[in-house]
Chains A and B, each alone.
Chain A
Amino acid sequence: MEGPSSRLPPSLLPASRDWMVGRRDSGGDAESDRDIKTHFRVCRFIMETGVKLGMRSVPVATACVLYHRFWERASVHAYEPYLVAMSCVYLAGKVEEQHTRTRDILNVSHRYFNSGSAPLECDKEFWDLRDSVVQCELLILRQLNFQVSFEHPHKYLLHYLLSVKSLVNRHAWSRTPIAETSWALLRDCYHGAMCIRHIPQHIAIATLHLALNSYGVELPVGEKEWWQVLCVDVTKAHIDAVVSDLLQLYDMEAKCV
């Protein structure tokens, strides 16, 4: 941590691209696997914190996207992932107009790590923690170049669900929790960097596709597949790529929890 390179995210230092190369190489696999696991756990932390703070789905999704975009440009060794996560939650609240207080974030995080313990005292320790969250927010803003407004798959999924509902047999729809499942699948996408690798429409189509398939709900077959009607540029390959990323995340869950 003493070298100058650790003080700045290496991706911004032209001289030290070795960590990027390391990830591509076979030798970096173990490390990259460990990083993915770390991020998986931290994202779980973001979601749990978000739920406890009463945040809506979209602000939580924004927090996760901020988190993944940050690590796109920074090495996991340079900054503390959980601190970045807390600042992402705070920043997401500002971006999505559902403001949270640093104090609440700190207390909820404290309970996450020390379940059953009393809330934090308002002492110097507490103010230092709060300063860290605020300072880290600025770091995230700088890293992301102030580009913090994102488009999420949620609105697309909602729209697609309404369209598909009208195509499906009414009884089949009421028997199967398609909406709930696809919504849950969508939320799970945010555990990994896959949520920033695919475009929102494709993620929405893929989660709906997976939900329909898992319950064996059939849609009337026409000239085109149903997803081609809903989203012009999506292909089966896109859907498969999203689904495969998502299934990998579920594998990861088994290893992490």
Chain B
Amino acid sequence: MEDWYRWVREAGWWVRRCCCGEEEDDDEEEEGRREEEEEEEEVKMEELSLRKSRSSTSLPPAELDPDRSGSPPSGFQPHWFHTLQARRFKVQRGRSNSDPLGGKSCQDQFTWKPGLEFGAAHSYVSLEKLGEGAYASVYKGVSRINGQLVALKEIRMKTEEGVPFTAIREASLLKGLKHANIVVLHDIIHTRESLTLVFEYVQTDLAQYLSQHPGGLHSHNVRLFMFQLLRALCFIHSRRILHRDLKPHNLLISYLGELKMADFGLARSKSVPCQTFSSDVVTLWYRPPDVLLGSTDYSTALDIWGAGCIFVEMLQGFPAFPGMKDEFEQLQKIWTVLGVPSEDIWPGVSQLPNYQPDRFLFSEPKSLRNVWKRLNQLPYKTEDLVQRMLKVLPMVRISAQDSLQHPYFSTLPPPIMHLRDTVSIFKVPGVQLETEVRDVFNSGRKIKPSLLLSAKFW
């Protein structure tokens, strides 16, 4: 008994020393850091090779060039101004992001520092807060190692709970996923009281992009975004991973128009298809009817439904099924468009926990072009793809792989179909974002600064 206490205590002490060696006290700091460096060597090597392979594909040239990122800009600009510029990327094309701190005083701080290590907190400077999540705060930051902009996702650690499971899941899954349309996890920093995931910095997200360009996006851009989204889904599904939380907020958009899937906190490796997953996963608006009905044996079709909803939202400019209250209201929104399913078309539907026909208002399936007017103005193949993605019955919903072959994408240049996983579609000649018709930042309307500060845009 006594012995047991002693060994656990002792072991705990060793663990603390090893995890947080560099923080113990001043005269130990040097030693601690050396140890940390040793321990991070593996991470570092991996990250270095990652950077090498990545650098030519997805970085804007301005961010790659050490001279530019190291040199001070012509005039001093306050921090918040960059926030504005990053959002006004139609004017600035995000270029201003390459000199994030402005002022001359920062010059020596941002020169290339080969001595700095990956995995160490002092290798990154946090610049401004971008947003606050359920278990983390996201900061825009800059790497002191190479001057690259990064997004620092600082995860709060509760002493009694340890590392949040969402963070563990996100880190372990993202480490294995290298794809042009999935956000890059550069580095992981752990200190005694926090864990920070270092991601590549991406200027905005689809939710912001949609609010910046209200009334629906340019149909060409919708096609490019959808192609990239489905490409990412195809990639993770082939690795038996479900995202489970697709929504415009989690799709980052770079100034070039590159779409990057982020927020893998709820993603999981998909194992035996009959396994029961915890059923509380997708934000209600993007949740498929089978999951809303209480089914727990969902699979890849779950993400396809979410992608279908986002497809409609990009075309229309407003969410496809914006339920306000609970699962039943959400289901009713879906039934209004697609009709209430019966045992005939969906065998077994009446066995699902939330299937209560007396609570559903009867409605017939409608033609999608009558519900979402934008589909009327576009060729039939657009409606056809939406229809295949928004099937009530999960088994007949199109797969990510098949959807990439759909005629809807046939107008894209053919080489786009044969890219390596890590190559952005914007490397294909002729692929570029069109100017959106409506842009709230360019219409002369003024935006309250308070609105900007609260917004999340990485």
Contacts and interface: CB of A to CB of B under 8 A. Distances in A.
Closest 10 pairs between A and B when the two form their complex, measured CB to CB: A132-B12, A80-B11, A94-B165, A134-B162, A146-B171, A83-B11, A135-B15, A155-B272, A137-B162, A148-B172
B176 A147 contact: yes
Interface in B150-173: 159-163, 165, 168-169, 171-173
Interface in B246-291: 268-269, 271-272, 277-278
A80 B172 contact: no
B168 A94 contact: yes
B271 A114 contact: no
A145 interface: yes
19 contacts: A7-B21, A8-B18, A12-B39, A80-B11, A94-B169, A97-B277, A97-B278, A114-B1, A129-B12, A131-B12, A132-B8, A132-B11, A135-B15, A135-B19, A139-B15, A139-B19, A145-B42, A151-B271, A155-B271
A228 B176 CA distance: 30
Interface residues of B, number: 47
Contacts of B165: 94-95, 97, 99
A17 interface: no
A130 interface: yes
Contacts of A80: 7-8, 10-11, 14
A219 B272 CA distance: 26
Contacts of A125: 5
A113 B160 contact: no
Contact of A134 (B4, B160, B188): B160
A45 interface: no
Contacts of B364: none
A97 B35 CA distance: 33
Nearest to A143: B39
B168 A135 contact: no
A83 B14 CA distance: 11
B39 A8 contact: yes
B212 to A, nearest CB: 35
Interface in A147-172: 147-149, 151, 154-155, 158
A97 B268 contact: yes
Contacts of B41: 12
B95 interface: no
A18 interface: no
A247 to B, nearest CB: 28
A82 interface: yes
A43 interface: no
B168 A8 contact: no
B263 to A, nearest CB: 16
B438 interface: no
A78 interface: yes
A7 B39 CA distance: 11
Interface in A89-125: 90-91, 94-95, 97, 99, 102, 110, 113-114, 117, 125
B172 A95 contact: yes
Contacts of B35: 4, 7-8
B132 interface: no
Given A94-B168, A135-B16, A141 B163 contact: yes
Given A129-B12, A142-B190, 17 more contacts: A7-B35, A12-B39, A97-B278, A99-B165, A102-B160, A102-B162, A110-B4, A132-B11, A133-B162, A134-B160, A134-B161, A134-B162, A135-B16, A137-B162, A138-B15, A139-B15, A139-B19
A145 B9 contact: no
B17 interface: yes
A1 B18 CA distance: 13
A180 interface: no
A136 B15 contact: yes
B12 A82 contact: no
Contacts of B159: 131, 134
Nearest to A131: B12
